[in-house]
Amino acid sequence: MKEFQLIESFFKGRGPVRRDVTLGIGDDCALVQPAENKSLAISCDTLVENVHFLADMPPKALGYKALAVNLSDLAAMGAEPAWMTLALTLPEADEAWLTDFSAGLFEIADYYGIALVGGDTTRGPKTINITVHGQVPQGKALSRSGAKVGDWVYVTGTLGDSALGLDILRGRQQASAENSAYLIDRHYRPTPRVLAGQALRALASSAIDLSDGLMSDIGHVLKASGVGATIEVGLLPLSAAMRDTVPLELGLSYALKGGEDYELLFTVSEAQKGALETSLGHAGVKFVKVGQICAGDKLKLRHEGEAFTPLLDGFEHF
């Protein structure tokens, strides 16, 4: 199958039709029309086989996850998804694989209303690169640099499930059939907190998505904001499947350093705590307070009044 036949068969004309796309797939560039008084939020992620995903990952799940991890970046900025491009590198044009991959990609694209407007295909080691574009009202974007001493630290969802699911796939952990299915699905199909990010625009002082693990990612917030933080490890939200599968100390370690949860970590001032309950409640997202921003530049982990040292190493891109 030739490149243009591949594009026509699996990608062109699929996904949401947006009125702000004036020229889509088929020309040298796409043309889009951003809304007035909106800033563009742009993010790019690359997934490489045997680095970011296992070679036997189901292609439908891979298509879904490849876009979900990008949408999580938009969520962390409070942006509304709009457009994406896809650069797909494959060792061969496997039609069955492409059918399932594109089905997973457009499942989540349809849900969030994001249009595929262009990209590229080429031969080589299996690599998926997606660039997403979103829009956010000018001056309202969330960032990593606004945390203040005294702000409270929150996270959405539950933490560590994806990393434990990956370890089950690798044969490093065992779980019941029901728990394995849940944890592996959390690894394959993360939920980008797009609505939560938008709800936090007027409330959060800083935000970041949890891609590399809580300890690594809150470190980016602390560095950007010039502050420290204390995390009460016992408050970290663990799923029932996590608690059923591993001892508590290991579960907390997965939550701190496991990575690929794609939940949001955000900080909120004391004055905004009440409004937070209402806003995220309307977004249908569970969240929990796990610590507080403090003076200095250190991250402190405490559990039952004592310092806590995780049992795991964090994820590194290189």
Last residue of a domain, one of 137, 170, 193: 137
Checking if the pLDDT of 97 tops 60, the result is yes
Number of other residues whose CB lies within 10 A of the CB of residue 235: 15
73 annotated as ligand-binding: yes
pLDDT at 83: 95
Q: Are 135 and 32 in contact (CB under 8 A)?
A: no
Q: Evaluate whether residue 49 is within a structural domain.
A: yes
Checking if the pLDDT of 173 tops 70, the result is yes
Taking the C-alpha atoms of residue 189 and residue 169, their distance in angstroms, rounded to an integer, is: 14
Q: Evaluate whether residue 144 is within a structural domain.
A: no
Q: Are 115 and 150 in contact (CB under 8 A)?
A: no
Domain residue limits at 69: 3-137
How large a percentage of the chain has pLDDT more than 70? 94
Q: Evaluate whether residue 147 is within a structural domain.
A: no
Interval 106-120: pLDDT, tens: 999 999 999 999 888
How large a percentage of the chain has pLDDT more than 90? 79
Both 166 and 223 in one domain: the answer is yes
Interval 111-170: pLDDT, tens: 999 999 988 889 999 999 999 999 999 999 999 999 999 999 999 999 999 999 999 999
Interval 23-33: pLDDT, tens: 877 777 888 88
Q: Evaluate whether residue 146 is within a structural domain.
A: no
Lookup: tokens for 137: 């009202």
28 annotated as ligand-binding: yes
291 annotated as ligand-binding: no
Please tell me what DSSP assigns to residue 186: H
pLDDT at 19: 82
Both 76 and 13 in one domain: the answer is yes
Checking if the pLDDT of 17 tops 90, the result is no
261 annotated as ligand-binding: no
Task: Please tell me which residue, 247 or 16, carries the higher pLDDT value.
Answer: 247
pLDDT at 2: 64
Checking if the pLDDT of 315 tops 60, the result is no
Contacts of residue 235, defined as CB under 8 A and 6 or more positions apart, other chains included, come to: 288, 289, 290, 291
pLDDT at 7: 67
Both 160 and 301 in one domain: the answer is yes
Both 130 and 238 in one domain: the answer is no
Q: Are 61 and 182 in contact (CB under 8 A)?
A: no
Q: What is the mean pLDDT of residues 55-70?
A: 96
Checking if the pLDDT of 1 tops 70, the result is no
Checking if the pLDDT of 242 tops 50, the result is yes
Checking if the pLDDT of 316 tops 70, the result is no
Q: Are 238 and 290 in contact (CB under 8 A)?
A: no
pLDDT at 317: 40
Both 303 and 156 in one domain: the answer is yes
45 annotated as ligand-binding: yes
151 annotated as ligand-binding: no
Interval 252-305: pLDDT, tens: 999 999 999 999 999 999 999 989 988 887 778 899 999 999 999 999 999 988
Q: Evaluate whether residue 168 is within a structural domain.
A: yes
Strands 21-23, 31-32: pairing is antiparallel
Reference 251, options 157, 314, 159; nearest CA is 159
209 annotated as ligand-binding: yes
For 162, half-sphere exposure in the C-beta direction (CA atoms, 13 angstrom radius) is 27
Q: Are 76 and 207 in contact (CB under 8 A)?
A: yes
Both 132 and 156 in one domain: the answer is no
Q: How many domains is the chain partitioned into structurally?
A: 2
Q: Interior CA angle at 180 toward 170 and 214, to 5°?
A: 70
pLDDT at 274: 87
CATH number of the domain to which 42 belongs? 3.30.1330.10
CATH number of the domain to which 290 belongs? 3.90.650.10
Taking the C-alpha atoms of residue 130 and residue 172, their distance in angstroms, rounded to an integer, is: 30
Q: Evaluate whether residue 317 is within a structural domain.
A: no
Q: Evaluate whether residue 237 is within a structural domain.
A: yes
Q: Interior CA angle at 206 toward 250 and 218, to 5°?
A: 25
Checking if the pLDDT of 5 tops 70, the result is no
Checking if the pLDDT of 219 tops 70, the result is yes
9 annotated as ligand-binding: no
Both 223 and 275 in one domain: the answer is yes
pLDDT at 4: 63
120 annotated as ligand-binding: yes
